[in-house]
Amino acid sequence: MPQPPAPRKAPGRPPRISREEVVGAARRIVAEEGVDRLTMRRLAAEIGSTPMALYHHVRNKEELLVLLLDDYAARTLHRPRLPAAPRERVVVAAAAIHEALAACPWIVEVLTADDLMSASALWFVEQIVDGLIACGLTPERAVHGYRAIWYYTAGEIVVRATAARRRADHDRPTYRERVFGDLDPGELPRLAGLAERWAPLTAEDTYLDGLRALVDGLVVTG
Amino acid sequence: MPQPPAPRKAPGRPPRISREEVVGAARRIVAEEGVDRLTMRRLAAEIGSTPMALYHHVRNKEELLVLLLDDYAARTLHRPRLPAAPRERVVVAAAAIHEALAACPWIVEVLTADDLMSASALWFVEQIVDGLIACGLTPERAVHGYRAIWYYTAGEIVVRATAARRRADHDRPTYRERVFGDLDPGELPRLAGLAERWAPLTAEDTYLDGLRALVDGLVVTG
DNA sequence: ACCTGAACACCGTTCAAGT
DNA sequence: ACCTGAACACCGTTCAAGT
């Protein structure tokens, strides 16, 4: 983790704000007003400082967001008691990550990171990889399996969060509804038959079902 | 699909630019300079018009992006020959969507839409849902199965695209590398053991493996 | 070392007016 | 109906200077 330069003999001016203070203020803004409102200017105002002062504690806005995700993970990602059966352990660990992230939809902007490599998430990754190995996968396949689970989990959150955002923004009929309006039952019989029930069906939360299917498939196939 | 108001008796001034022209110019800009460079101002300049003229053909920037995705899907989403075996049909249809989307990483901004409900993608959705039903799932579970596949696919693309973007932007060590640098082998033995190989392992393209596992799991479990 | 003011180089979108 | 100019209300970030 990047640290501000070490305060050796403390020459020069004493700091008025700290990195923690910056991240804390950012957390408040996001919690109360949403990510969209988190701007360097707004953040500076919240702290009672200037936009430029922030750049002494944070490289740029992207780093601020990563820091914020870290902060959030450390705060909300509590380790659950895990079942002994390895396959179930994988499911529970993944579901715990999912639950924490799903509760904070703003994460989407940042989440699209490499992996979820927040330090506090590592324990969960360890559990998933270890559980998959205990199910008989090679370490290589276990890592790939973890990736697949992460893709599925991140995708669920991103798609769901964006759908929710759109619904909130403009209450007009969504693009999907318009497309679904006139389906040719000759060409697309299944979709035409399901058109009425599509919205409620896709509104259901089936994250866990899909996760179980994926883990089953990984364990059996692998 | 939203259309500009019907030109009844053509009263008033004749149009100088069309919606197609707008979308076409946007496509060129994105192809040559990247999504980041696609702004209403830049687009107007490209067309030789003013930013405000665009708003007569497109509701706002978000609609422009949806239109652009549509245009892209219609252009590149060609229907492959599908295998007869239903399970394999599902895999091939999903992989075709994935391949088309993976080739255009800018899509990520828009992709996070509701579903991939571009009209031209519907045929693929039909194949997936129908294939899952042919595998013995109920229509409801087939829709849920399609959703799971979509989450997995969208997640793969979003995560991969963002990782690539970060790598391009700042070549400094990534956050993950720093976190992986000092792992406590006592607490996280699997990750510590895999630390060296993590980067190459997660760089491998295992979309198809994961997809197969997921489909297997959906078919067997369901 | 830390903070500030002023400025750079942008955004998407609205409004009132013109043809 | 379609297009324009000017303006509103913002952005993230850099630079040179102050303490």
- Mean pLDDT in consecutive groups of 10 residues from the start of chain B, 222 residues: 46 86 97 93 97 96 91 92 98 96 80 67 95 98 97 92 74 72 91 94 96 97 65
CATH code of the domain containing B23? 1.10.10
* Chain B contact present for A136, CB below 8 A: no
Answer yes or no: is A126 within a domain: yes
pLDDT in tens, A63-113: 999 899 989 999 999 999 999 999 999 999 999 999 999 988 787 767 665
Contacting residues 30-49/B vs strand D (CB within 7 A):
49
Tell me whether residue A68 is in a domain.
Answer: no
Cβ neighbours of residue B90 closer than 8 Å, sequence gap 6 or more: B127, B128, B131, B132, B135, B149, B215
- What size, in residues, is chain B? 222
**Which one has a higher pLDDT value, A191 or A160?**
A191
Q: Which domain holds residue A217?
A: 79-221
What does pTM read for this prediction?
A: 0.91
Asked whether residue B18's C-beta has any atom of DNA/RNA strand D within 7 A, the reply is no
Q: What are phi and psi of B50, to 5 degrees?
A: -115, 155
**Domain assignment present for A1:** no
A208 touches chain B (CB under 8 A): no
CA distance B62 to A69: 26
Which of A:86-125 have CB within 8 Å of B? 108, 112-115, 117-119, 122-123, 125
Work out the average pLDDT over A129-147: 98
Q: Among residues B31, B59, B87, which one ends one of the domains? A: B59
CB–CB contact B210 A144 (8 Å): yes
pLDDT at B28: 96
Q: With cut-offs at 50, 70 and 90, classify the pLDDT of residue A14.
A: confident
Let me know if residue A119 belongs to a domain. yes
Residues B100 and B195 in one domain: yes
User: Is a pLDDT exceeding 60 seen at residue A123?
Assistant: yes
- Enumerate residues 6+ apart whose C-beta is below 8 A from B204: A144
A152 and A48 in a single domain? The answer is no
Q: Are A104 and A197 in the same domain?
A: yes
Q: What does the alpha-carbon distance between residue A17 and residue A5 come to, in Å, rounded to a whole number? A: 15
HSE value, Cβ hemisphere, 13 Å, CA-based, for A100: 23
What pLDDT sits at residue A27? Answer: 96
Answer yes or no: is B117 within a domain.
yes
With a cut of 90, say whether residue A117 has pLDDT above it: no
What nucleotides of chain D have any atom within 7 angstroms of a protein Cβ? 1-7, 10-16, 18-19
Is B69 inside any structural domain? no
Can you tell me the distance from the alpha carbon of B63 to that of B98, in angstroms, rounded to the nearest whole number?
23
pLDDT at B89: 98
Look at A107-111, A120-124, A186-190, A212-216 and tell me which has the smallest mean pLDDT.
A107-111
Q: Is B190 on the interface with A (CB under 8 A)?
A: yes
Quick check: B52 CB within 7 A of strand D? Answer: yes
**What is the number of structural domains in chain A?**
2
Structure tokens at A73: 């993970």
Those residues whose C-beta lies under 8 Å from the C-beta of residue B191, and which sit 6 or more positions away, are A122, A125, A126, A129, B180, B183, B198
